[in-house]
A = this chain, B = another copy of it.
Amino acid sequence: MLETAENYDASKYERPSVTADVVILTLREQDLQVLLIKRARWPYDGSWAIPGGFVEKDESLRQAALRELREETGVTDVYLEQLYTFGDPGRDPRTRVITVAYLAVTSADQIDPRAGSDAAEARWWSMYALPPSLAFDHDQILDYALTRLRYKLEYTAVGFQLLPKEFTLPELQAAYEIILGEMLDKGNFRKKLARANVVEPTGQYRQTAGRPAELYRYRQDAVAETRARRLFP
């Protein structure tokens, strides 16, 4: 019998469960922080985990991620990209579960964390001081997310998603230093920024303990991404 949409038997092949998990990163308290939820139910009840949930029948993977994001933060208008898909056979004690991990990047003033239906509570954690034992393989997912963000800093304007609409250059530099985990030379940072032509001054200043700092904003006409000019590692 020829297969058609009417008589196709999907159970002929293994069908795992599929979740979309969202690593939500932001800058808060001079720190790069991720939103984690405390799981309320087995498996890993009481453990901290990346928010996520099963992909529904008629939604794309991205839509699933956005749904989870809205459930955990109340917003969806943030930078979101697919990270990686984790699918080792034993990663979830319930059954075979494949997780499509996403990375959301946002500024702290944009979101209001709340615990979704499957979580006891939600909390911000420093990416540099995570809970001792995360659920599932979520430590690997977080590691992957940080690596991806650092990598993306080099070529794209993603870093600006972590900042409010207006920021000073020392604030921008501090953000980069926090994410990269290293100190940057102020003069060189400013020079690279000027050369990139992705920010413009607002004309306003912010009071500081010393000299007032000029406020900048991300340029709407800035290039979002660039290509390198190298050919080898």
Contacts and interface: CB of A to CB of B under 8 A. Distances in A.
Interface string A128-168: 00000000000000000000000101111101000000000
Interface residues of A, number: 61
Interface in A92-116: 93-96, 98, 100
B3 A41 contact: yes
A204 interface: no
Which DSSP category, helix, strand, loop or mixed, fits chain A's interface? loop
A155 B60 contact: no
Interface in A45-76: 54-61
A61 B85 CA distance: 9
Interface string A1-35: 01111001010011111100000000000000000
Nearest to A194: B232
Number of copies of this chain in the oligomer? 2
Nearest to A150: B227
Max count, chain B CB within 10 A of own CB: residue among A3, A61, A87, A232? A232
Contacts of A84: 82
Max count, chain B CB within 10 A of own CB: residue among A17, A42, A225? A17
A209 interface: no
A83 to B, nearest CB: 10
A18 B232 CA distance: 35
Interface in A192-232: 192-193, 195-196, 198, 222-228, 230-232
Interface of A: 2-5, 8, 10, 13-18, 41-43, 54-61, 82, 84-85, 87-89, 93-96, 98, 100, 151, 153-157, 159, 176, 184, 189, 192-193, 195-196, 198, 222-228, 230-233
